[in-house]
Amino acid sequence: MSVHTDRSAVTVLGLGPMGRALAGAFLDAGLRTTVWNRTPGRDGELVARGAAAASSAEEAVAAAPLTVVCVVNYDASDAVLRQDAVTAALKGRTVVNLSADTPGRARDTAEWAGRHGIRYLDGAIMTPTPTIGTDDAVLLLSGPEELYREHRPVLAALGGSHTHLGEEIGRAAAYDIALLDVFWTAMAGYAHALAVARAEGVTATELAPFAQGIGAILPPLFAEFAADADAGTYSGELNPITSSASTMAHIVHASEAHGIDASVMRVIEGQARRVIALGHGADGFTRVAEVLARR
Ligand code: NDP
């Protein structure tokens, strides 16, 4: 079997924490794994476990029919993939880009790949490195269904759930952006909460169990809000946005009294006040999503 069609071979470009986790999972699954990273010296442990170290990106991509890219963003993946020798070596092979970036960058990369006869899937990893190769990994993919099916057996080595979101190449990045939006704004709220609590003499450890309780409220609320937003009801029966805006103002006042920057909460309060000013004060917080989407 030629390397070109060898379904037990895979290449990983990018050996940051996530790239190393991906390569490790491929090795654990018994796949012939070739690795490359811009800065040398990141492949030691993988090579000790049986990976082949390529001396250049073009040598790496030539070693397998499937190349998985996992670098910081698409400026970085462009810097690697769009070198003439790498692009030429990729002709007829498949690239799965698991780096994070915007849907627009995914579409641009697919267009570039199409022009160069490179088969292309885009993807996003939604869970941290320790989940890779376990049941807890969550991967989202988009692009040609047939190509996804073809490489599904190799990608399965990464573990967990894999969801093919459809042929529209920007779809995985669209989900990624939306889900990271949830994550980072929640984390920003937590960082701010820790600062305000500390100013009030409450340690992070003291607050943590109660913060976990707040976190546990969110999953059912996400489902409830989704149904409410899709139905366009924005129900405020149990908690009108006028009441929510009032509690947001308390947070702003308490943190600014300690000289702590409350700009994130000020933005959220401002959005709630805008909803009220537009005449939707009896609605629930989900109305913000509708108002934000207005052009
Ligand atoms: P980083 O996001 O820090 O990416 C590091 C990798 O990017 C290294 O291999 C680095 O190479 C490479 N890189 C950066 N700039 C360039 C460039 N100009 N040319 C070539 N290579 C470059 O670390 P991670 O491995 O953690 O993340 C990789 C991707 O996975 C990111 O898009 C991230 O958002 C995503 N991800 C990561 C998760 C995690 O828990 N770590 C979770 C989910 C997704 P070098 O060593 O030479 O600097």
d(CA 18, CA 97): 13
Which ligand 1 atom is nearest residue 100's CA? 32
d(CA 16, CA 35): 11
User: For ligand 1, is residue 15 a contact (CB within 6 Å)?
Assistant: yes
Q: Which two tokens stand for residue 42?
A: 């990141």
128 lines ligand 1 (CB under 6 A): yes
Interval between CA 255 and ligand 1 midpoint (Å): 35
Residue 258 pLDDT = 98
* Residue 79 in contact with ligand 1 by CB distance below 6 A: yes
pLDDT at 28: 97
**Nearest CA, atom 31, ligand 1:** 72
Q: What is the pLDDT of residue 6?
A: 72
φ, ψ dihedrals at 172, nearest 5°: -60, -40
Token reading at 265: 């909460």
> Which strands sit side by side in the sheet containing 9-13, from one edge to the other?
52-53, 32-36, 9-13, 66-69, 94-97, 119-125, 138-142, 161-164
The superfamily (CATH) of domain 203-292 is: N-(1-d-carboxylethyl)-l-norvaline Dehydrogenase; domain 2 (1.10.1040.10)
DSSP for the chain reads: --GGG-TTEEEEE--SHHHHHHHHHHHHTT-EEEEE-SSTTS-HHHHHTTPEEPSSHHHHHHT-SEEEE--SSHHHHHHHHTSHHHHHHHTTSEEEE-S---HHHHHHHHHHHHHTT-EEEEEEE-S-GGGTTSTT-EEEEES-HHHHHHHHHHHGGG-SEEEE--S-TTHHHHHHHHHHHHHHHHHHHHHHHHHHHHHTT--HHHHHHHHHHHHHHHHHHHHHHHHHHHHT----SSS-HHHHHHHHHHHHHHHHHTT---HHHHHHHHHHHHHIIIIITTS-TTHHHHHHH--
Task: Give the model's pLDDT for residue 185.
Answer: 95
3-167 maps to which CATH number? 3.40.50.720
pLDDT at 1: 44
Q: Is 31 exposed, middle or buried (0-12, 13-18, 19+ CB in 10 A)?
A: buried
CA distance 121 to 169: 7
| 99 CB within 6 A, ligand 1 | yes
Residue nearest to atom 1 of ligand 1 (CA): 72
Q: Rounded distance, CA 216 to CA 203, Å?
A: 20
Dihedral (Cα; 241, 242, 247, 248), 10-degree rounding:
70
Give the model's pLDDT for residue 4. Answer: 53
Q: Which residues contact 67 (CB under 8 A, 6 or more apart)?
A: 10, 11, 12, 13, 60, 61, 90, 93, 94, 95, 96
- For ligand 1, atom 7: residue with the closest CA: 71
Ligand 1 pocket, residue 100 CB under 6 Å? yes
Cβ(38) – ligand 1 distance below 6 Å: yes
Please give the number of the atom of ligand 1 that sits closest to the Cα of 38: 47
Which atom in ligand 1 lies closest to the alpha carbon of residue 20? 25
Q: Residue whose CA is closest, atom 46 of ligand 1?
A: 39
CA of 193 to the centre of ligand 1 (A): 29
Distance, CA 138 to ligand 1 centroid (Å)?
A: 18
| Sequence ranges of the domains in the chain | 3-167, 203-292
What does each of the 295 residues of the chain score in pLDDT, given as a tens digit?
A: 444 557 789 999 999 999 999 999 999 999 999 999 999 999 999 999 999 999 999 999 999 999 999 999 999 999 999 999 999 999 999 999 999 999 999 999 999 999 999 999 999 999 999 999 999 999 999 999 999 999 999 999 999 999 999 999 999 999 999 999 999 999 999 999 999 999 999 999 999 999 999 999 999 999 999 999 999 999 898 899 999 999 999 999 999 999 999 999 999 999 999 999 999 999 999 999 999 999 7
User: Are 20 and 46 within 8 A, CB to CB?
Assistant: yes
Distance from residue 275's CA to the centre of ligand 1 (Å): 39
How far does residue 253's CA lie from ligand 1's centre (Å)? Answer: 39
Token digits of residue 8: 């037990």
Total-model pTM: 0.93
- Dist. CA 196–CA 257, nearest whole Å: 10
Distances (CA, A) of 106 to 88, 122, 185, 227, 284: 20, 7, 24, 29, 35
- Please report the atom of ligand 1 found closest to the CA of residue 16: 25
The Å distance, Cα 127 to ligand 1 centre, comes to 14
Q: Note the pLDDT of residue 263.
A: 96
d(CA 266, CA 77): 37
Q: Is 97 in the pocket of ligand 1 (CB under 6 A)?
A: no
